[in-house]
Amino acid sequence: MDMRFSPEELAFRDEVREFIASNYPQELKGGARRSRGEMSKEDILRWHRILYKKGWIVPHWPVEYGGTGWTITQRYIWNEENARAETSPLLPFGLSMVGPVIYTFGNEEQKKRFLPGILSGDDWWCQGYSEPGSGSDLASLRTKAVRAKNEKDGDHYIVNGGKTWTTLAQFADWMFCLVRTDPNAKAQEGISFLLIDMKTPGITVRPIITMDGAHEVNEVFLEDVKVPAENLIGEENKGWTYAKFLLGNERSGIAGVARSKKAIERLKNIANAELIDGAPLMKTDEFSRKVAELEIDLSALEVTELRTLAAESKGRGPGPEASILKIKGTEIQQRITELAVEAVGNYAMVQAPRMEATGNEFVPGPDYSTGTAQDYFNMRKTSIYGGSNEIQHNIIAKMVLGL
Amino acid sequence: MDFSFTEEQTLLRNTVQSLLADKYDFDTRRKVTKTADGWRPEMWAQFAELGLLAAPFSEELGGLGGGAIENMIVMEEFGRHLVVEPYVETVVIAGGFLREGGTAAQQEALIPGIVGGETVWAFAYAEPQGRYNLADLTTTAKKDGSGYTINGYKAVVLGAPWAQKLIVTARTSGGQRDRDGVSVFIVDKSAAGVSTRDYPTVDGRRASEITFENVKVGADALIGAEGKGLPLVEKITDEAIAALSAEAIGCMKELNTATVEYCKTRKQFGVPIGKFQVLQHRMVDMFMAHEQSVSMTYMVNLKLGESDVERTKAAAGAKVQIGKAGRFVGQQAVQLHGGMGMTDELNVGHYFKRLTMIDTQFGNVDHQLKRYSEAA
């Protein structure tokens, strides 16, 4: 057993570090700290486009579709370095979700048509999975697609229903959507995977404002939306297979170890700057113990993730063990933001202005206190989305423990 | 032993309940907090008209003869409706300072304005470097003829944008964190040299940063004895903590009711999610957290008149309990409501935000734990 990086891997790390240092836009520095709900479309895409030019936009894809051919360890290093530099995270919808579904299950035409736009960032994708009332019980979805054929419209589906929690749909060009094509089949068996052009008539996007004040998610209403049959991925009624494949991808990387490390570093900086009776908060027993516990939990998670990665590089998993990463990773992320609120004291009460603010708003307190409470409120979502943490417990109970 | 309320107290609760049921539904509250002012002066006038602002004052002071329990009743109901109007700042804190430390002349001049709803107050005590240490003051008040000149800076003064008058703590002597040398003043917000910068808080209220630059006040602005103000400040902030505890149990009560209701009706995998044992146990823990908080809230409100040590332990203990319970209940209520719990549209997130801020006000769990263990 060996947990250290090889000299080649260290050299790779230096190359990556240097590339990020000289190419990440100065104006976006600290971008990882801003909620996507308060960034512009162009800001979110800037780092994407730079990486696309460099050829590093999809290290996790097969080389034939644009991947870099990096080992799993190199990919890990890549993620670490991005977190270290606090680059703004790339959107997963095209790169990690629908892209792999298309190159794995799509036909040649679909690959040719959709993959280039995903890589370049010219097409913005959103995810049409959740529905009002479905929550973690994804298979209960009711959005209906009826296949029809006529001379004027050709072979197509008519889609009716609605999706919710659709992240950044307000910017999307395309939506990958789970629809029910066989209402009589069992819950998971009558579902298909459709790609829908967001400009199609009958689609309405309505914002959902979250409690931190951000506009990150939306409701999407679909009313008699006509979708060409060639936008069906794979086979009709087999969509659940593709959806599960996609969810597997979603869960990897959800641990967020490297970013949590950075966040703890920032938390310590705050706690060193905040004084209690003239001495740093970080020097108090209570606070330093909480930070230490957090760091220890995070190192355990880091090695657990490395073990999962190692197993994956030998062709196993990520199995239900990925649920550990989701549960522990999100708990740690939430605790960090919770401690940040504790650390900043009275200034946690200040409401930070939103992106659409004029810039002339008065924001009191030290810079590091701005938005700490909103981050804390926003991070409550992580134990709810992507299959709630309760569902992840069920998965481990059933799949690992056999209960 | 008797934990029941008197007829008058029950009547008071009914009065608050019916007013808020009528005028303080969640959607209205949400709209109001997004306006430029962020509150409703006409609501304040209603509170005055119904006698809420007079409830905790003795009859000699022009009140209705109540005390801490009346504050508790009002604040619990306010918590259930997320009332933003500055009852704690004006009635509990400013009223408390005047009652406990005010001269007969000050009481006579100022309490009618509180009771009648004409004057709104804010409490300018915290400073950026001080965190929750009430004695950590760089704001100074220097003797100037018969009066004083105040210079300094106060942070996150809740309710100040709505206030006409301020209670200000300042150092008249001693080192930055000495217990001796703290004095308490009444300052008009409109006095020359007072400047404010206003901003919204995350729980939908308003606060100000306040600068005092050579602000002149007369001798009659001093509350209590010069340099001996800290014990009074501690007593009154404990009264505020007792009131905030009541507000917190109101918030928790609403969250628990809403969560249980939701879990009974919300179906997943073909059954109401409330049928899942893991969620049932979670809701039982939320229920117990609320009951324990109610107990601590009663306890602190009953012990405000005891010795300093007893009162300190009661207040610190209650603050620890509501800080932890508020966090637990708030987080779980959001979690069990799923995505809906994250939205601005649903009241759940707003209760959670308010509970989070109640933990911060006057010292969070860590601060109060330390205070508790040092008090014994």
Q: Using CB atoms and an 8 Å cut-off, which of residues 179-208 of chain A contact chain B?
A: 208
Beta strand B271-272 with B267-268 is antiparallel
Q: For residue B193, what are the contacts with CB-CB under 8 A and spacing of at least 6?
A: B150, B212, B213, B214, B215, B216
Q: Using CB atoms and an 8 Å cut-off, which of residues 361-380 of chain A contact chain B?
A: 361-366, 373-374, 376-377, 380
Side chain identity, residue A275 = L
**Is the CB of B338 less than 8 angstroms away from the CB of A373?**
no
Residue among A69, A115, A385, A102 at smallest CA distance from A254: A385
Give me the residue from B279, B335, B345 closest to A384, CB to CB. Answer: B335
Matching CATH number, B122-228, of 2.40.50.140, 3.40.50.720, 2.40.110.10, 3.90.180.10: 2.40.110.10
Chain B nearest-CA residue for A187: B269
Matching CATH number, B231-375, of 2.40.30.110, 3.30.460.10, 1.20.140.10, 1.10.510.10: 1.20.140.10
Maximum Cα–Cα distance for chain B, whole Å?
Answer: 78
- Residue B119 touches chain A, beta carbons under 8 Å: no
pLDDT bracket for residue A321 (50, 70, 90): confident
**Is the CB of B352 less than 8 angstroms away from the CB of A377?**
yes
* CB neighbours of residue B190 within 10 Å: 8
From CA A68, how far away is CA B209, in angstroms rounded? Answer: 53
Q: What interface predicted TM-score (ipTM) does this complex get?
A: 0.93
Radius of gyration of chain B (CA): 21
pTM: 0.94
Which chain A residues have a beta carbon less than 8 Å from that of B352? 211, 377, 380
Q: For residue A372, what are the contacts with CB-CB under 8 A and spacing of at least 6?
A: A337, A340, A341, A343, A344, A347, A348
**Is the CB of B366 less than 8 angstroms away from the CB of A287?**
yes
Q: Using CB atoms and an 8 Å cut-off, which of residues 21-40 of chain B contact chain A?
A: none
Terminus-to-terminus CA distance in chain A, angstroms? 32
From CA A253, how far away is CA B285, in angstroms rounded? Answer: 32
Residue among A348, A326, A337 at smallest CA distance from A379: A337
Give me the residue from A130, A286, A380 closest to B366, CB to CB. Answer: A286
Phi, psi of B169 (to 5 degrees): -95, 140
**Tell me, what DSSP letter sits at residue B193?**
T
- Residue B265 touches chain A, beta carbons under 8 Å: no
How close does chain A come to B78, measured CA to CA in Å? 19
How close does chain A come to B115, measured CA to CA in Å? 28
> What residue spans in chain B does CATH classification 1.20.140.10 cover?
231-375
**Tell me, what DSSP letter sits at residue A120?**
H
pLDDT at position A103: 96
Phi, psi of A210 (to 5 degrees): -90, 170
Q: For residue A177, what are the contacts with CB-CB under 8 A and spacing of at least 6?
A: A128, A129, A143, A159, A163, A193, A194, A195, A196
A80 labelled catalytic? no
Using 70 as the pLDDT threshold, list the residues of chain B that sit under it: none
Q: For residue B124, what are the contacts with CB-CB under 8 A and spacing of at least 6?
A: B154, B157, B160, B166, B167, B168, B169, B187, B210
Phi, psi of B375 (to 5 degrees): -75, -30
- Residue B257 touches chain A, beta carbons under 8 Å: no
**Tell me, what DSSP letter sits at residue A188?**
T
Chain B nearest-CA residue for A350: B201
> What residue spans in chain B does CATH classification 2.40.110.10 cover?
122-228
pLDDT at position A104: 96
Q: Are A230 and A56 in contact (CB under 8 A)?
A: no
Q: Using CB atoms and an 8 Å cut-off, which of residues 346-375 of chain B contact chain A?
A: 349-350, 352-353, 356-357, 360-361, 364-366, 369-370
**Does a cis peptide bond (omega within 30 degrees of 0) precede residue B272?**
no
pLDDT at residue A261 is higher than 90: yes
Residues A19-57 pLDDT 10s = 999 999 988 876 666 667 778 899 899 999 999 999 999
From CA A291, how far away is CA A347, in angstroms rounded? Answer: 20
From CA B144, how far away is CA B123, in angstroms rounded? Answer: 23
Residue pairs between chains A and B whose CB atoms are closer than 8 Å: 139
Average pLDDT of chain A to the nearest whole number:
91
Helices (H), A4-107: 7-23, 41-54, 72-84, 92, 99-105
Which chain B residues have a beta carbon less than 8 Å from that of A136? 268, 338
pLDDT at position A32: 62
From CA B93, how far away is CA B234, in angstroms rounded? Answer: 11
Q: For residue B148, what are the contacts with CB-CB under 8 A and spacing of at least 6?
A: B141, B142, B170, B172, B183, B185, B216, B217, B219, B221, B222
How close does chain A come to B199, measured CA to CA in Å? 7
Which chain A residues have a beta carbon less than 8 Å from that of B199? 350-351, 361-364
Which chain A residues have a beta carbon less than 8 Å from that of B342? 210-211, 380-381, 384
How close does chain A come to B237, measured CA to CA in Å? 15
Residues A197-248 pLDDT 10s = 999 999 999 999 999 999 999 999 999 999 999 999 999 999 999 998 887 7
> What residue spans in chain B does CATH classification 1.10.540.10 cover?
7-119
Give me the residue from A287, A349, A381 closest to B201, CB to CB. Answer: A349
Which chain A residues have a beta carbon less than 8 Å from that of B210? none
* CB neighbours of residue A108 within 10 Å: 7
SS3 A36: helix
Q: Which two tokens stand for residue B243?
A: 């009131």
pLDDT at position A38: 73
DSSP E strand boundaries for A151-283: 154-163, 174-180, 191-197, 203-209, 215-228, 232-233, 275-276, 279-280
Which chain B residues have a beta carbon less than 8 Å from that of A287? 366
Phi, psi of B167 (to 5 degrees): -100, 125
Residue among A161, A265, A262, A177 at smallest CA distance from A221: A161
Which chain B residues have a beta carbon less than 8 Å from that of A345? 131-132, 360, 364
H/E run at residue B43: helix B41-49
H/E run at residue B170: strand B165-171
How close does chain A come to B210, measured CA to CA in Å? 11
Catalytic residue among A80, A216, A236, A250: A250
pLDDT at residue A7 is higher than 80: yes
pLDDT at residue A325 is higher than 80: yes
Top CATH class, B7-119: mainly alpha
